[in-house]
Amino acid sequence: MAKELIETIVPNTDVLPSTVPVEALKSAVTDAMSWLTGTGIEFKTAAKQVIAQGLIQNQGIA
Amino acid identity, residue 8? T
Ranges of each domain in the chain: 2-56
CA angle 53, 62, 29 (to 5 degrees): 55
3-59 per-position pLDDT tens digit: 788 888 888 878 777 787 888 888 888 887 777 766 677 887 888 888 888 888 888
Spatial separation of the C-alpha atoms in residues 62 and 60, rounded to whole Å: 6
Query: Distances in Å between the alpha carbon of 53 and those of 2, 38, 50?
Result: 8, 23, 5
Amino acid identity, residue 7? E
Please count the CA atoms within 13 angstroms of the CA of 55 that sit on its side-chain side: 21
